[in-house]
Structure 1
Amino acid sequence: MATFDKKKKDFDLVVVLEAFQRCRQSDDTLVLREYLTAFTELCRFFKLTGTLFGFVAMDLEDKIRILNEHLTADEIHYTSVQSMIQHEVDHDLTKVKKGNLKSGSRTLLRLHRALEFILAFMSRLRIGDENEKSSVIASEVYNETLSRFHPWVVQKMAGLAMYMLPSKKDLIDVMCKQDYESVMCTLGEVVTSGQPLYDITQKLYEGKDLLDLP
């Protein structure tokens, strides 16, 4: 069984919720910095679920690093998801590097795909039976979402990682410094706040014909 310390509380689901809520502005502009804050916290969750899920966290952290560097170097054009995509489309940067950095649009697309999996997993985790295995939930959601973007080798690694997930009860225990019912409520709020971010981003990429960036 993968190493799992259910007493460790480095992850806080409320941090994700609040970042999601701040990310979406009244005009549906998505603040890139808040998007990255949410994903930084989600990386802690993947690390807590077991050593075999470390490869997921490492991949997310690499994408977060690239986007943070873009944001630091050019806060005007990279302040929001919309401004970043428009800037890179206007300057033909969606498929090439900007200096030493990979395209921000391409990088965010990888996080966007991961968000689909995360939101679907949290939704299923919330409505599922308390005794349902988190490994089964994760496997079914992965096959419906992220797997289509992964080569065979990565699919096998992901399958093994999900098989080694702790029980649903232990998984919920690290999701918040709250009781079970409070965590279930917060999960619902995270999904409710996160789904519009996914939908807005999906529409942006569709409109710019960027959903298949290599």
Structure 2
Amino acid sequence: MGSARFYKFFIPVAVFAVLLYLASLRLPESHRWDCNAVGAPCLRNHISGEPAGDVGSRPAEGAVESTEHSRLCRGRDFQIHRVLTAFNSAVTGEREILLERYLEGWDELVKFLESLGTVIGFISQEVKGKLGVVRELRRGAPATEEEEEGGDPYRTLRSMMAHELRAGLVDFRRQSLSGCRTLLRLHRALHWLQLFLRAVGRSSAGDSMGALCSVAYNQALAPYHSWLLRQAVGVALVALPDRAEFFRIVCGEEEEEEEKGEREREGRQLLERTVLAITRVYNITQEAYQANGMLDLP
């Protein structure tokens, strides 16, 4: 009884303390940039945590897989089928990543993060900032003479890498406001969500969403965070919605009690397809960064 009262008091206080701490990270201090919530490296070691290999067919550029879903999965503001559509259409037949489609996929994932509650919302703010950086670079980047025939240097991931390397925008020793460095942080965060969503899709009734998310975080993002931020995130994850609420977020509100089982089946199917699409994008992106020696950009 005493233990229950302790946790009832402790968790809100701890969450409030986390929010205060995370708010301090938003102060405009440039030296804070290497320890933010989306994976800037504070530790030099890198845990690859290789996900499953590429799966599924490779759609033609701009192709959008039909993602029509049943009446049970109408969704709220966040609709997971939009994530699936964006990441499926991000990969061309030549295994290129279309940057605008990639960013659109992240736009939808931001809605997912925001739907998990205020405590986890600080991550969505970091992601929004990085999406804005890449889009600003896309709008303002003039093509070099060598690139003029190819058009927009920020059209694909590989064209961005080639452009920024050629223009000397990528600094391998110090932090720089380059698209390559910024998108690397999004890439690491995508790995975290890929692992988390895969675990949720395979979960059973009674499994803790906070525990599943913590395992994914420890594998994908924790190696790049300071000790203090790791502890803060650990406390924040305690406040994640339970499993039933998570499937309501993924598939919207059920109209009848008997629809709950069908809703979870629909949610599992959509999660599986979405994770496969994210995994393919993650793997191709990982290959591109590795080929250019950019996996550990400061």
Q: What's the TM-score, normalizing by structure 2?
A: 0.66
1:84 has 2:168 as partner: no
User: What is the distance in 2 between the residues matched to 1:63 and 1:170?
Assistant: 28
Per mean C-alpha deviation after superposition, the further-off stretch among 69-78 and 40-49 is: 69-78
Provide Cα deviations, 1:37-90, integer angstroms capped at 9, x if missing partner. Answer: 011111111111111111100110001011111122237000111110111111
Q: Tell me, in whole angstroms, the C-alpha distance in 2 between the residues paired with 1:51 and 1:112.
A: 23
Which one of 154, 159, 165 corresponds to residue 240 of structure 2?
Answer: 165
- Aligned pair 1:25/2:81, yes or no? no
SS in 2 for 1:210: coil
Measure how far apart 1:157 and its partner are: 2.0
| Matched residue count | 205
Amino acid at match of 2:226: P
Residue 93 (str. 1) matches residue 169 (str. 2): yes
2:280 maps to 1:196 = yes
RMSD of aligned C-alpha atoms? 1.8
Query: Which of 155, 161, 169 is equivalent to 2:230?
Result: 155
Q: Deviations over 1:137-177 (max 9, x none)?
A: 01111111110011112212211121110101101211234
CA distance in 1, matches of 2:159, 2:202: 36
SS in 1 for 2:89: helix
Greater helix content: 1
Moved over 6 A (4+): none
Q: Which has the larger radius of gyration?
A: 2
Gaps of 5+ in 1: 3-7
Partner of residue 138, structure 1:
213
Post-superposition offset of 1:183 = 1.2
Contact 1:14 1:176 in 2 (8 A): no
User: Residue 104 of structure 2 corresponds to which residue in structure 1?
Assistant: 37
Work out which of the residue numbers 134, 137, 149 in structure 2 matches 1:70: 137
- Matches of 1:193 and 1:58, distance apart in 2: 24
Distance 2:236 2:110 in 1: 15
- Is contact 1:30–1:81 with CA below 8 Å preserved after alignment? yes
Please say which of residues 120-129 and 176-185 is displaced more in the overlay.
176-185
Aligned-residue sequence identity (percent) comes to: 29
Aligned to 2:289: 205
Distance 2:79 2:135 in 1: 21
For 2:272, the aligned partner's letter is: G
Which of 113, 120, 124 is 1:57 aligned to? Answer: 124
Q: Indicate which of 149, 152, 175 corresponds to 2:250.
A: 175
Distance 1:124 1:168 in 2: 11
Q: Amino acid of the residue matched to residue 247 of structure 2?
A: I
Return the alpha-carbon distance in structure 2 between the equivalents of residues 176 and 26 of structure 1: 31
Bigger drift between 166-175 and 111-120 goes to 166-175
Secondary structure at the counterpart of residue 175 of structure 1: helix
Structure 2 spans left out of the alignment, 5+ residues: 1-11, 16-74, 142-150, 254-262
